[in-house]
Amino acid sequence: MERELAALVEAVRNAGAKVRELVRVGFEVQTKHDRSPVTTVDHEVNRILHEMQRLEFPQDGWLSEESTDDLARLTHSRVWIVDPIDGTKALVNRMPEFCISAALVERGTPIIAAILNPSTDELFTAVRGGGLFLNGTRVTPSPTHDCNPVIMVNAWEFRNDRWSTLAETTQCRPMYSIANALTLVAAGRVQAALTIEPENEWDLAAGVLLIEESGGAISNEAGKPFVFNQPTPRFRGVIAVAATASKDLRANLQAHAKHARSQLERKRATP
C-alpha cells in the first residue's frame, strides 16, 4: 500500500495548497439542487484528487460528492471515496474546521485514509493495520480521566437541543465537519462524535479508518459497522468513541441515540 498512500498524500497536500491559495484570493459560491453550498474550491480539490486516481490507479472506481455517481464503481473491488471539502459551510464562513477527506476502500472496507485540515495543515493518515499518523508521526492517544467528556454533535442538532439529555454527563460541542470531528476523536482530543442525521459515504470513509487505527470504535446509530461502496451511499447516524473514552460511553451514547430516534419518529408520525 506504500504506492497508494504516497500518491494520496501528495495529491491531498497539493489540494490543500490550492485551497489556501483560493481562500486567500477568493472563490465563488453556488447553491446545489439540495440547497447546500458548493464552491470553486470544492471543484478544484475534486479535480486534483480525481486526476490522481485516473492517472495512477485507472483500474479503481471513484465516488465523490462533487462527481456524478458512476454506478460502474459497484463492479470494482477498490474504490476511492472522496469528499473534496467536508464542511463547505465552514469554508464559506471562514471557520477553520473544513477538511479534505479521502479513502481507498477495498470490498467495502477502508484500507487507506487521509484527512487534511488546510487551515491547520494537520494531515491525519492511516493504512489498515498500521496505526494512526499525524503529519508522518505516529499518534498514540493519551488516557483521560475527564468526568464530563467532550462530545462533538451535529451543529443543527446542537442548535435544536436534540442532545440536551446529555448535558449532565458530557460537554456537547457543535461540529461543522464530521471529517474534522472524527480526526479529533481519533487523536483523543475529544471523546466522541454523535449524530442521528444521515451521512454520506464520502463524509465517513476516511474517518472510519482513522478511528479504528487509533483503537477507537465507530458504527451507525444502531451499533452496526459501516460497509462502503453501496448502491445508495448513505448511512443512518454515527457514533464514534475514542480509544481513551470510558468503557460505558459508547453504550450511553447509543442509548441516547435510540431515544432521540424514537422521539423523532414519534414527532413525524404526529398529524
Look up residue 162 and give its amino acid.
R
CATH 3.40.710.10 matches 150-269: no
CB 217 within 8 A of CB 49: no
Nearest in space to 86 (alpha carbons), one of 68, 101, 104, 64: 101
For residue 112, the surrounding DSSP H or E stretch is: strand 109-117
What's the mean pLDDT in 250-269?
91
What's the mean pLDDT in 208-226?
97
The predicted-structure confidence for 9-54, as pLDDT tens digits, reads as follows 999 999 999 999 999 999 999 999 888 999 999 999 999 999 999 9
CB 116 within 8 A of CB 134: no
140-173 CB burial, b ≥16 within 10 A, e <16: ebeebeeeebbbbbbbebbeeebbeebeeebebe
What's the mean pLDDT in 87-98?
97
Asked if the model's pLDDT at residue 87 lies above 90, the reply is: yes
Q: Which three cell numbers stand for residue 152?
A: 462533538
What's the mean pLDDT in 167-190?
94
Give, in words, the CATH class of 2-138: alpha beta
Domain spans of the chain? 2-138, 150-269
CB 209 within 8 A of CB 126: yes
Q: What is the pLDDT of residue 146?
A: 67
Q: What is the pLDDT of residue 88?
A: 97
Asked if the model's pLDDT at residue 142 lies above 90, the reply is: no
| Percent of all residues in the chain with a pLDDT value above 70, rounded to a whole number | 99
* pLDDT class of 162 with cuts at 50, 70, 90: very high
Distance CA 184, CA 11 (A): 22
Distance of CA 201 to the CA centre of its chain: 9
Residue 196 phi/psi, 5° resolution?
-110, 5
| Percent of all residues in the chain with a pLDDT value above 90, rounded to a whole number | 88
* pLDDT class of 165 with cuts at 50, 70, 90: confident
Q: What is the pLDDT of residue 145?
A: 64
Asked if the model's pLDDT at residue 210 lies above 70, the reply is: yes
